[in-house]
């Protein structure tokens, strides 16, 4: 009746995008970590959802709920037309829970991101729509089909023309909640094909670059709006295309920023690239090194570099005043405690500023997962345990306990103050590296002391009476589920 006198209020469609809770991106306890991270709630803002939000039709309402940055878990309410949930493997269990709850309320659910892309059949048990691959290619079709009542149960990005990497809608998120609020994605994918890595397995080996003008504009905007001066480039391999990387770096110089990213170690072969990187403000790089054992590198499918060249390559990159973080992995079939020890010793000798030693995790979709599954070696499909600190497969040369002992020994020995002093030296004073090293060591020290446990070391492997071996069945090492 009202409509005879007043125009009917136009009902706007609404989509809610949800980032499911994950222990690995939420900053919770202890207090000391909260203080050091300026009481931020989460490590990174959910770039995937900010990108999805930018693809929503302009006449829709869009909201992002990031469970990692909120105190309370999300309570589903049927006040929207669509819900989109993104998930890495560790987030997928919570993603499915939320999806089930929304569907019970009659709201249609889209599941996307790395894990649903790897296991679309599993995801489709919890969703109306599974979006495989990049949202830039699938989401516009999903909205269109929804409005035409022709929604399909699956959208695969390989079936649509590829779309340019979108600029995220960061305006929908609160910068005060995140330690890293301005991650910038400059590229997608990686030209290599390591057997454990999700990136080539899910997104293929085609290396894609974003428009340089868009990148420059996003950085300029972040500088103006948030005063950001230091940026993380959220790439798998920043310099997968060297010529393009040089071009980008040269365009970054006038912005006068500092930045860090992940990169392949082969950049050591190009002085032109290293010079451009340094001049554009590169201060740090994470290098995926995995191991110094040639057989282990074979297991990892890391064919593009040989470990005996690591030393000169690291020295060369360091000489450009770029700090290096070595990313290693323990638990490949040719690994044993000695190869893990050698890798840790190498990281110390090479003067890496930081290092991490996660346990090998065969992520769904990878060649490694398929192989271990066919060999009956996958021990659990509890995806919350796919976190790099839990052993989810049967290792070849270790017991589960030994593998975790090797991991913790490496962390302990690498971050021990003696080792930090040797690697970082006092001058020139590397403030950030020192803070990170001390915090890592204190974190371990507090953990083991609090549990009244001996701090693991590689020497324990030769000592049958070492207290570390008194744990019996109980797994002794810290993990996010411990």
Residues in the site for ligand SF4, rule: CB under 6 A? 190, 192-194, 197, 199-200, 236-237, 264, 288
Alpha carbon distances (Å) from 453 to 365, 404, 409, 474: 37, 14, 13, 12
Q: Which two tokens stand for residue 131?
A: 């979006």
What residue 47 binds from ligand SF4, ligand B12, none (CB within 5 to 8 A, per partner kind)? ligand B12
Q: Of these, 64, 98, 112, 333, which contacts ligand B12 (CB under 6 A)?
A: 112
Q: State the DSSP string of 234-245.
A: --S-TTSSHHHH
User: What backbone phi and psi angles, to 5 degrees, belong to 332?
Assistant: -65, 165
What is the C-alpha to C-alpha distance for residues 226 and 221, in angstroms, rounded to an integer?
A: 8
Binding to ligand B12 in span 12-41, by CB under 6 A: 22, 24-25
What residue 134 binds from ligand SF4, ligand B12, none (CB within 5 to 8 A, per partner kind)? ligand B12
Nearer to ligand SF4, 66 or 236 (CB): 236
What residue 91 binds from ligand B12, ligand SF4, none (CB within 5 to 8 A, per partner kind)? ligand B12
Which residue carries 């990170």 as its tokens? Answer: 436
Burial of 158 (0-12, 13-18, 19+ CB in 10 A): exposed
H helices within 416-450, ranges in order? 417-424, 431-450
How long a stretch of residues is the chain?
A: 482
Q: Of these, 167, 185, 195, 336, which contacts ligand B12 (CB under 6 A)?
A: 185
Q: Is the Cβ–Cβ distance between 304 and 266 less than 8 Å?
A: yes
Any contact of residue 115 with ligand B12 (CB under 6 A)?
yes
Binding to ligand B12 in span 72-101, by CB under 6 A: 84-86, 88-91
Minimum gap (Å) between residue 199 Cβ and ligand SF4: 5
Minimum gap (Å) between residue 240 Cβ and ligand SF4: 8
What is the C-alpha to C-alpha distance for residues 318 and 274, in angstroms, rounded to an integer?
A: 10
Minimum gap (Å) between residue 89 Cβ and ligand B12: 4
What is the C-alpha to C-alpha distance for residues 341 and 296, in angstroms, rounded to an integer?
A: 13
Nearer to ligand SF4, 300 or 433 (CB): 300
Nearer to ligand SF4, 268 or 419 (CB): 268
Residues at the site binding ligand B12, with contacts judged by CB under 6 A: 22, 24-25, 43-44, 46-48, 51-52, 84-86, 88-91, 110, 112-115, 131, 134-136, 138-139, 183, 185, 197-199, 234, 236, 358, 363, 387-388
């Amino acid at each position: 009746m009202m409509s005879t006198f007043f125009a009917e209020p136009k009902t706007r469609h609404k989509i809610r995008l949800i980032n499911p809770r994950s222990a690995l991106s939420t900053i919770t306890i202890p207090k000391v970590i909260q203080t050091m991270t300026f009481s931020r709630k989460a490590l990174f803002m959910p770039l995937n959802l900010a990108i999805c939000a930018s693809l929503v039709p302009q006449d829709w309402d869009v909201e992002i709920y990031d469970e990692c940055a909120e105190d309370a878990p999300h309570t589903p309410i049927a006040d929207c037309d669509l819900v989109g949930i993104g998930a890495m493997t560790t987030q997928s269990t919570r993603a499915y829970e939320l999806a089930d709850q929304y569907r019970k309320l009659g709201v249609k659910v889209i599941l996307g991101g790395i894990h649903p892309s790897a296991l679309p059949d599993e995801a489709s048990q919890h969703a109306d729509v599974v979006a495989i691959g990049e949202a830039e290619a699938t989401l516009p079709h999903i909205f269109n089909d929804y409005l035409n009542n022709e929604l399909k149960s699956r959208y695969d990005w390989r079936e649509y023309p590829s779309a340019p990497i979108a600029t995220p809608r960061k305006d929908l998120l609160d910068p005060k909640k995140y330690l890293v609020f301005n991650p910038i994605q400059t590229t997608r994918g990686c030209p290599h094909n390591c057997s454990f890595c999700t990136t080539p397995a899910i997104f293929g080996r085609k290396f894609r670059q974003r428009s340089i003008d868009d990148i420059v504009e996003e950085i300029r905007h972040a500088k103006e709006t948030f005063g950001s001066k230091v940026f993380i480039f959220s790439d798998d391999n920043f310099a997968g295309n060297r010529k393009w990387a040089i071009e980008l770096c040269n365009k970054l110089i006038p912005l006068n920023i500092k930045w860090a990213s992940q990169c392949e170690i082969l950049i050591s072969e190009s002085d032109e690239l290293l010079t451009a990187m340094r001049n554009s403000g590169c201060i740090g790089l994470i290098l995926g090194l995995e191991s110094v054992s040639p057989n282990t590198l074979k297991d990892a499918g890391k064919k593009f570099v040989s470990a005996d060249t690591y030393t000169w390559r690291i020295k060369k990159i360091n000489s450009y005043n770029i700090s290096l973080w070595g990313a290693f992995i323990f638990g490949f079939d040719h690994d044993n405690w000695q190869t893990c020890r050698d890798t840790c010793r190498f990281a110390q000798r090479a003067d890496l500023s930081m290092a991490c030693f996660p346990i090998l995790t065969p992520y769904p979709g990878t060649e490694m997962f398929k192989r271990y599954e066919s060999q009956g070696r996958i021990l659990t499909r509890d995806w919350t345990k796919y976190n790099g600190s839990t052993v989810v497969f049967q290792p070849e040369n270790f017991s589960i306990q030994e593998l975790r002992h090797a991991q913790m020994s490496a962390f302990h020995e690498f971050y021990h103050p003696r080792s930090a002093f040797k690697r970082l030296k006092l001058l020139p004073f590397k403030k950030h590296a020192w803070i990170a090293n001390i915090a890592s060591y204190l974190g371990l020290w507090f953990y083991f002391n609090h549990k009244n446990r001996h701090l693991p070391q590689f020497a324990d492997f030769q000592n049958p009476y070492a207290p570390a071996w008194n744990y019996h069945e109980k797994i002794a090492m810290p993990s996010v589920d411990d």
